[in-house]
Amino acid sequence: MTKPITWFATWLPLIKLAQAVCLAVVILLFVDGREQWFVYNLVFIFSALATAFALISILFRYFELNGSRQVSFNVVELSLNALCTIISFSLSCALLWDIWNMRKGKHEITYHTRFPPHFIGNQAWMRRCVIVATTLLITGILFLITYLKLHHSHSSRN
């Protein structure tokens, strides 16, 4: 069974699509230069996995795949939304701390193993980090909204 095509205009697929778009922006901005610091790689990998989760979640909901009797897809999705919320906020805080240190000067960022690529530059890399931190914050809020709405609808059914 599938849902009607108008289901794609409801809150859940639209929020999941917004999550995927935000995370795609993060992926595009961190393709170059992520080897400077391991946290940049964590942000990149998290964004790729969370994008896949958001899109697969839409497909599972559309085709009404609920999982086995032992583990419901609703429980898995609630858990992953909570985890993605925490990770998004944590990575955003780590990037904000990094931006703070980069603004102080090069002597404060000794934890970076390399400088930004020469074709990007320090100022442009800081701007990228600001955009990524903000986007991760927005994505975390979207994951939180999804978690709260799914938790409310899941608990009202039981």
Contacts 24+ apart (CB under 8 A), 95-99: 95/39, 95/43, 95/129, 95/132, 95/133, 95/136, 96/133, 98/37, 98/39, 98/129, 99/126, 99/129, 99/130, 99/133
pLDDT 10s digits, 61-102: 898 887 666 678 888 999 999 999 999 999 999 999 999 999
What single DSSP character describes residue 116? P
Give whole-number Cα distances, 21 to 8, 98, 142, in Å.
15, 24, 11
Is there a contact between 44 and 26 (Cβ–Cβ < 8 Å)?
yes
Name the pTM for this structure.
Answer: 0.92
Q: How far is residue 156's CA from residue 158's CA, in Å, rounded to a whole number?
A: 6
Q: How far is residue 119's CA from residue 121's CA, in Å, rounded to a whole number?
A: 6
Q: Is the confidence at residue 157, as pLDDT, over 70?
A: no
At 118, phi and psi to the nearest 5? -60, -30
Instruction: Note the pLDDT of residue 69.
Output: 65
